[in-house]
Structure 1
């Protein structure tokens, strides 16, 4: 257990440091965040044609309300936590890669729900927007990473005990 924790913390530190590097931010994080804004506006456009995106901004064309998807709002930190946990845990690589793929999808899917709900909450009530943004959704995104990790652990094949 101690080995897992030390590996987890080391990988977590390296990945969070790498995320802060200017080239990674410029070539990976910013384009990824802009893509999240584009996917969000596409999803909103399925039932509401009054939204546009530019860069990392999602904006209503009817009232001008806009949200900017910033660090901590793009799901990258939750993915980093999940990646660190799955890489630190002793498991076959094919299981790690499958878990990372499913986990990334789960975290980003929930994050899209988060962004779209905040987009509409902000237009409806600023107090509720702030509460959901600062408290509820932050916790749910990290909880999503934890739940994915725990489900992944249950999915891993068990080692057979020697006869």
Structure 2
């Protein structure tokens, strides 16, 4: 367990350090954030024709309210934590890849709900928007990463320790 924790912290530190590099921000993080705004806008446009997106901003053409999806609000940090945990945990590569795929889907799905709910909550009450943005959704996104990791561990194939395996038959 201690080995996992140390490995996890090292990987997490490296991933967060790499994420902060300007070339990574320019080439990956900012385009991802704009894509997230576009997907959020497209989903909202299915039931609200008054939605516009420009870059990382989703706005209402009806009342001018807008949200800007900033770094830290794009699900990348939660995904990096999950990535570090899955890499650090001893398991076969195929299971790591499956965990990362389903974790990505879960975290980004939850993040889309977050963006959409905050967009409409902000039009109703700035105070509730601020509270939900800073406290509720931050915790829920990180909790999502933790739950995905725990479910992933639960569904890993069980390995029988060598001391508990059946003795070999000798001829």
Under a length normalisation based on structure 1, what TM-score does the superposition of the two structures give?
A: 0.99
Structure 2 Cα separation of the partners of residues 58 and 4 of structure 1: 40
Larger Rg: 2
**What are the within-5 Å matches in structure 2 for residues 8-23 of structure 1?**
8-23=8-23
Report SS of the residue matched to 1:59.
Answer: strand
Structure 1, unaligned runs of 5 or more: none
Structure 1 Cα separation of the partners of residues 138 and 69 of structure 2: 13
Aligned to 2:37: 37
Report SS of the residue matched to 2:29.
Answer: helix
Structure 1 Cα separation of the partners of residues 60 and 103 of structure 2: 30
Structure 2 Cα separation of the partners of residues 123 and 29 of structure 1: 27
Report SS of the residue matched to 1:100.
Answer: helix
User: Structure 1 residue 125 and structure 2 residue 125: aligned?
Assistant: yes
Structure 2 Cα separation of the partners of residues 11 and 58 of structure 1: 33
Aligned to 2:72: 72
**What are the within-5 Å matches in structure 2 for residues 1-163 of structure 1?**
1-160=1-160, 161-163=164-166
Report deviation, 1:137: 0.2
1:70-98 per-residue CA deviation (whole Å, 9 max, x = no partner) reads 01100000000000000000000000000
How many aligned positions are there? 163
Structure 1 Cα separation of the partners of residues 127 and 135 of structure 2: 12
- Across the aligned residues of Structure 1 and Structure 2, the Cα RMSD in angstroms comes to 0.5
Report SS of the residue matched to 1:53.
Answer: strand
Structure 1 Cα separation of the partners of residues 64 and 18 of structure 2: 35
1:9-59 per-residue CA deviation (whole Å, 9 max, x = no partner) reads 000000000000000000000000000000000000110010110110000
Structure 1 Cα separation of the partners of residues 126 and 46 of structure 2: 25
Report deviation, 1:150: 0.2
- The runs of at least 4 consecutive aligned structure 1 residues that moved more than 6 Å come to none
1:87-142 per-residue CA deviation (whole Å, 9 max, x = no partner) reads 00000000000000000000000000000000000000011101100000000000
Structure 1 Cα separation of the partners of residues 165 and 53 of structure 2: 58
